[in-house]
Amino acid sequence: MATFTLNINGKKQEVDLDPSTPILWVLRDHLNMVGTKFGCGIAQCGACTIHLDGTATRSCILPVSSIGDKNITTIEGLSENGDHPVQKAWLEVDVPQCGYCQAGQIMTASALLEKNPNPTDEEIETAMNGNICRCGTYLRIRKAVKIASES
Amino acid sequence: MTLVKTKIGRRSFIRNTGLASGGLVLGFNWLASCKMTPEQVNAMPKEWFELNGFLKVGDNGMVTIMSPNPEIGQNVKTAMPMIVAEELDVAWKDVIVEQAPLNTDIFTRQLAGGSQSIRQGWESLRMTGATARQMLKEAAAQTWQVPVDEITTGEGMLHHAASDKSAGYGEMASIAAGLEVPEEVSVKEISEFKIVGTDRKNVDGPKIVTGKPLFGLDIQREGMLTAMIVHPPAFGMKYKSMDAAAAKAMPGIKDVFPVVVYPEDAEKQWSDGGAIAEQVAIVGNSTWECMQAKKALDIEWEEASTLESSAYHDEALNQLLDTAPKEAARKDGDVDKAFKSAAKIVESVYTAPFLAHNTMEPMNFFAHVTSEKAELLGPIQTPEFLEKTLVSVLGMPAEKIDIMMTRMGGGFGRRLYGTFAVEAAVISQRMQAPIKLVYTREDDMTQGTYRPSYKVRYKAGLDDKGNLIAWHVRGAGTNDDLIFENRFPAGAVDNYLAEKHSLQTNVTTGAWRAPRSNFIAGAEQAFMDEVAEAAGKDPIAFRLELFDRAITNPVGDPKNNDYDPERYAGVLKLVREKSGWTGGDNNGKSRGVSAYYCHNSYVAQVMDLTVDGDKPNIDKVWCAVDCGIVINPLSAKNQIEGGIVDGIGHATYSALSFSNGQSDQKNFDTYRLIRNMEAPKEIESFFVDNGIDPTGLGEPSLPPIMGALANALYRATGRRYYHQPFINDKPPLVG
């Protein structure tokens, strides 16, 4: 067990736990921030995507001990009122079916647009390729990213 | 308006006058962290008046509509309340939707499966809204002392033109709640619909995009422990013994024990398919600690039956394809005689592997079982059947068992089999504590109830004019006999023989999005393409000739044919028109066509693609659908798009194989699902506008797309694709 102070969504949070614990479970089990989802546990599906200093990162294989003072942003902290351009575009296009993977999709999309505000269609597909949606909402995901990039 | 008898039993309407006289009910309060905004709280009525089990009207006119069926992403949580709101005649903005708990006294068929929620719910949902509206009208008539049939409604308001009186539903709700339920009510004509048939966004959309707790896995409770299971590593093995000392000593671990989930005398339901009687349970403070303890466990398993491999399944299914069953499933005319006189014969075998469901949210369930009661909360497609199993397994009467459904991170049939919820309940009962059972992805993918593996052989005979004179289909599957003998082209061919086999295996199988159709549609529609080519006919024209035959001069009793040939032909004609089908390529893009009828809806598709090496680039899919009245076009199109992407993905990339009873794939590093870049560039959907009562869309667009893909791939490559997943199929060039 060890104590860590984490910067999450602009707030300092202290946790005392096994240093190997992935950030995914720190968020979900210890801080009751359940917007970040568990999908595969091996960084293959993207459901657990967060931003680490602005970069889309898989939280399911990211030990709490490796974070240091880097800034973590989760879906809960992407915007104060759910009005980030990507979230608004997601609602406009009515992307979700079951909705489970969408937080991860949104975190990947928002990190893309932060680095590349005007991605081509191909760049959007490439960036979103790491996030699995079993419901098959990929076409609406692309469309929503495009709309967000234009706003 | 159409006058109809209220067909719902009177017990469906609990007019709880006690509740009507008071009681503030806040919606969405089942998760403590799921708080309402101050604006939402201010907008909430001070009092709610329950008019029937499906809805309550607030004193300020807000309406809460219960969505009775489980939500797995098929969007019934928006669509079902839309139907109620339509007949109640309220503005959609004034509607709050709540998920109803399992309540067999009020609701019928609280099940998500078979694309049946809308089809089977249509009448009762309309009646519910219309009955409540009638009661509100009667309340206004009594209050204003005017005849009830002079009162009109609109957007949650009651009007009496002659006396120039108006009132909101909220003002009449308390009186309406005390009235008798009417014997007859009027429902709207289709032309009067204001909500049904319009685009309405997912009611949970804002919560989904902000990461609010909605799913079973998100449940947190005071004092809740986390539980995990270890199931036998292979089908055919069972628990023998273990050394749990190291695991028990690990931080955060409360207990590790073998658990008999299903005692020998347990009364199992069909929803317990895939049940594993005895497993090992790990209970601890957190998920990660349980995962670590799981790795430290030393469990001995023993062989209980044969450890099967894919090579065995293949060989056994091949043998069945070479064996005539004792009885035909359907026989018209004499296929043997017809094949002898045929000018041409076409024969092909199509195959597909086992598939896992892979809902993105792994199996999980919350349970708190005490001696007094059992509270179950989580993602389940079959809550009613779960309750029956729990009565037997927990030894507790149904009245003491409360089951609530969460929004589900996908279903696809997997959560029809709620063994994970039973496991959670049994572990909670033993621990005397609230627990949340969590499966890892590996637990989920290796636990079973898979889509069966299938093989089918088709043989068709053509006369010298290219007319189809004989059709023989023989199919076999693992624990499933695959063939729908009365589906097309039964009824359209004089000599028709359908035969089927099931291979018993200990690899558990179950319903997977569009059961059986999810393979047989693609096989049949790819074979139809081969036969049309052999006949020298356009594939759409060839199919339409067969539908003409089924319409004008059906073979056998048309009542036995499980499709309406006019509606079937209708979607083909529509997709032909919309895609600009000419029979050839489309500006360098290779085209394939397919059509199928399942789950009461008709679908026809045209796909355009090019092939780059081994990689298909799908340019566009045109999809024509006849599902009768479309409740919510925005969401209906989403379902169609999803089914198409899902179907392309599984036909092209996905497979589960077995070695010595173990699945070779355990997670997404080896089990391939379709990804964003592999989905079509564009999908365009079209609906037949016919005013027929609605049918479902959760499944029907998936099955035929596998055929359209195989047919387009053939046009692009000159090779027929017979074996899913196509990415592994290296077929020879044809001709």
Q: What is the pLDDT of residues A77-127, one digit of tens each?
A: 999 999 999 999 999 999 999 999 999 999 999 999 999 999 999 999 999
Residue type, B549: R
Distance CA B32, CA B689 (A): 45
CA distance, residue B670 to nearest chain A CA (Å)? 10
Confidence class of residue B21 from pLDDT cuts 50, 70 and 90? very low
- Spatial CB neighbours of B269, under 8 Å, sequence gap ≥ 6: B382, B385, B386, B388, B389
Query: Could you give the C-alpha distances from A131 to A42, A52, A104, A126, B647, in angstroms and in order?
Result: 13, 17, 7, 10, 18
Q: Which amino acid is at B274?
A: G
- Record: contact A29-B286, CB cut-off 8 A: yes
pLDDT of residue B26: 21
What one-letter code names the amino acid at A29?
D
Q: Is the CB of A42 inside 8 Å of chain B's CB atoms?
A: yes
What is the distance in angstroms between the Cα of B646 and the nearest Cα belonging to chain A? Answer: 6
CA gap B403, B387 in Å, rounded:
7
Contact between B439 and B418 (Cβ < 8 Å): no
- Locus of tokens 């050394």: B243
Amino acid, res. A55: T
Using the beta-carbon criterion (under 8 Å), do B410 and A21 form an inter-chain contact?
no
* pLDDT(B458) > 90: yes
Interface test with B, best of A100, A140, A146 (most B CBs within 10 A): A100
Residue in chain A closest to B633 (alpha carbons) equals A94
Q: Does the beta-carbon distance from A96 to B644 stay under 8 Å?
A: no
Residue B251 scores a pLDDT above 80? yes
pLDDT tens per residue, range A2-36: 999 999 999 999 999 999 999 999 999 999 999 99
Cα torsion through A72, A74, A76, A81, rounded to 10: 80
Q: How many CB atoms lie within 10 A of CB B572?
A: 25
Looking at residue B16, what is its pLDDT? 29
Q: How far is residue B371's CA from residue B669's CA, in Å, rounded to a whole number?
A: 44
**Are B676 and A102 inside 8 Å of each other by CB?**
no
Confidence at residue B7, expressed as pLDDT on a 0 to 100 scale: 43
Q: Which of B475, B474, B481 is nearest to B509 (CA)?
A: B481
pLDDT at B110: 84
Residues B479-492, mean pLDDT to the nearest whole number? 97
Q: Which residues numbered 87-126 in A keep a CB inside 8 Å of some CB on B?
A: 87, 90-91, 94, 96-103, 106, 125-126
Residues B210, A136: C-beta atoms closer than 8 Å? no
With a cut of 80, say whether residue B95 has pLDDT above it.
Answer: yes
Nearest CB to A102 within list B208, B634, B635: B208
Q: Do A47 and B362 touch (CB under 8 A)?
A: no
Lowest mean per-residue pLDDT among B46-50, B93-97, B150-154: B46-50
CA distance A112 to chain B (A): 15
Packing angle of the helix pair B169-176, B117-144 (nearest 10 deg): 90
What is residue B230's predicted lDDT score, i.e. its pLDDT? 98
**Does residue B4 have a pLDDT over 80?**
no
pLDDT bracket for residue B40 (50, 70, 90): low
Share of chain B above pLDDT 90, in %: 84
How far apart are alpha carbons A45 and A105 in whole angstroms?
Answer: 10
Specify the pLDDT at position B8.
39
- Mean of the pLDDT values across residues B102-111? 80
CB contact under 8 A, A99 and B204: yes
Contact B654, B671 (CB under 8 A): yes
Phi, psi of B642 (to 5 degrees): -60, -45
Instruction: Work out the pLDDT band at B630, boundaries 50, 70, 90.
Output: very high
Q: What is the pLDDT of residue B517?
A: 98
Q: Do B410 and A100 touch (CB under 8 A)?
A: yes
Averaged pLDDT for residues B455-470: 98
**Residue B411 Cα, gap to closest chain A Cα (Å):** 9
Q: Residue B733: its pLDDT value, please? A: 75
- Chain B CB contacts of A135 under 8 Å are 73, 410, 642, 646
- Please list every residue in chain A whose beta carbon sits closer than 8 Å to the beta carbon of residue B675: 129-130, 132, 138
Chain B residues touching residue A125 (CB < 8 angstroms): 676-677
pLDDT of residue B38: 54
Closest residue on chain A to B411 (Cα): A98
The pLDDT of residue B219 is above 70: yes
Tokens encoding B417: 């089999």
Give the phi and the psi of residue B71 in degrees, each rounded to 5.
Answer: -105, 115
Task: Answer yes or no: do B680 and A139 touch at CB < 8 A.
Answer: yes
Residue of B360, B641, B679 lying closest to A101 (CB–CB): B360
The CA R_g of chain B, rounded to the nearest whole Å, is: 28
Considering only the beta carbons, identify the residue of B209, B409, B641 that sits closest to A82.
B209
**CB spacing of A87 vs B649 below 8 angstroms:** no
Shortest distance between the Cα of B579 and any Cα of chain A, in A, equals 19
Band of pLDDT at residue B1, cut at 50, 70 and 90:
low
Residue-level pLDDT at B198:
98
Residues of B in contact with A98 (CB under 8 A): 72-73, 359-361, 407-411
10 Å CB burial of residue A145 (0-12, 13-18, 19+) is buried
pLDDT digits (tens, 9 = 90+) for B524-577: 999 999 999 999 999 999 999 999 999 999 999 889 999 999 999 999 999 999
Chain A residue with CA closest to B632: the answer is: A94
Sheet holding B63-67, edge to edge: B48-52, B55-58, B63-67, B95-99
- Going across the sheet that includes B682-687, the strands are B590-598, B601-612, B615-626, B682-687
The answer to whether B658 and B664 have CB atoms below 8 angstroms apart is yes
Q: Of B201, B212, B220, which has the smallest distance from its Cβ to A91's Cβ?
A: B201
| pLDDT higher at A18 or B118 | A18
Residue B17 has pLDDT above 60, yes or no: no
Coil, helix or strand for B457?
Answer: strand
Establish how many alpha carbons lie within 13 A of residue B465's alpha carbon, considering only the half-sphere containing its beta carbon.
Answer: 3
With CA atoms as reference, the chain A residue closest to B640 would be A136
Distance between CA atoms of B130 and B55, rounded to whole angstroms?
Answer: 11
Chain A residue numbers with beta carbons less than 8 Å from the beta carbon of B438 are 38
Neighbours of B536 (CB within 10 A): 11
Question: Which residues from chain B sit within 8 angstroms of residue A45, using beta carbons?
Answer: 360, 668
B350: pLDDT strictly greater than 80: yes
Reported as half-sphere exposure (CB side, CA atoms, 13 A), residue B569 has a value of 17
Could you give the CA distance from residue B512 to residue B509 in angstroms, rounded to a whole number?
A: 9
B381-429 pLDDT, tens digit each:
999 999 999 999 999 999 999 999 999 999 999 999 999 999 999 999 9
* B225-230 and B435-438 strand pairing: parallel
More reliable by pLDDT, B506 or B51? B506
pLDDT over 70, % of chain B: 94
Contact A35 B675 (CB under 8 A): no
Q: How far is B375 from chain A (nearest CA, A)?
A: 21
pLDDT at B105: 78
Measured between beta carbons, which residues in chain A are less than 8 angstroms from residue B218?
A: 34
Lowest mean pLDDT among B142-151, B158-167, B606-615: B606-615
Tell if the CB–CB gap between A136 and B645 is shorter than 8 Å: yes
Q: Is the pLDDT of residue B32 over 60?
A: no
Residue B258, SS3? Answer: strand
Query: Does A134 contact chain B (CB < 8 Å)?
Result: yes
- How many cross-chain Cβ pairs, A to B, lie less than 8 Å apart? 187
Residue in B75, B441, B667 closest to A97 by CB: B75
pLDDT digits (tens, 9 = 90+) for B368-377: 999 999 999 9
Quick check: A97 and B638 CB within 8 A? Answer: yes
Q: What would the mean pLDDT of B432-438 be, rounded to a whole number?
A: 98
Looking at B152-301, list the stretches that DSSP marks H as alpha helix, in order from N- to C-terminal side: 169-176, 205-209, 245-248, 287-296
- Cross-chain residue pair B360–A133, CB shorter than 8 Å: yes
Which ipTM was obtained for this model?
0.99
Q: How high is the pLDDT of residue B454?
A: 98
B613 — pLDDT class (breaks 50, 70, 90)? confident
pLDDT confidence of residue B102: 86
Measured between CB atoms, does A147 come within 8 Å of chain B?
Answer: no
Taking CA atoms, what residue in B is nearest to A125? B677
Residues of B whose CB is below 8 A from A18:
251, 288-289, 292
Predicted model pTM: 0.94
Computed over every residue of chain B, the mean pLDDT equals 92
Note whether A44 contacts B668, CB cutoff 8 Å.
yes
Q: Which residue has the higher pLDDT, B42 or B160?
A: B160
Chain B: closest CA distance from residue A46 (Å): 10
Q: What is the pLDDT of residue B735?
A: 55
pLDDT score of B698 more than 90: yes
